[in-house]
Amino acid sequence: MFVKVSESEDTVQQRDFNYASFLKTYFRAGCNWYFIFFLVSILVLTQAFATGTDFWLENWIRFEISDRVNITLGMFIFTLKNLLL
């Protein structure tokens, strides 16, 4: 990524932009390392809870579908058995 330092009609100077260094300086100017650790921990926990919810919902739906399929299959077999007897 490049940042324009100065611009005139003839010349445009550009320099490399170190994003990691910028973020480090930005966060250290506004807070200490404890807050950064707390913020990253909250972000990780939030993502873990969202992923866990998706996982739980997928398994719950899979269980409900298999339960209904088993009930429907059982009713079909029971009906077929009664028709044949």
User: With pLDDT > 90 as the criterion, what percentage of the chain qualifies?
Assistant: 14
The arithmetic mean of pLDDT across residues 48-71, rounded, is 82
Greater confidence (36 vs 76) lies with 36
Q: 17: Cβ–Cβ under 8 A, 6 or more apart, which residues?
A: 1, 2, 3
80's tokens: 């077929």
What pTM value is reported for the model? 0.46
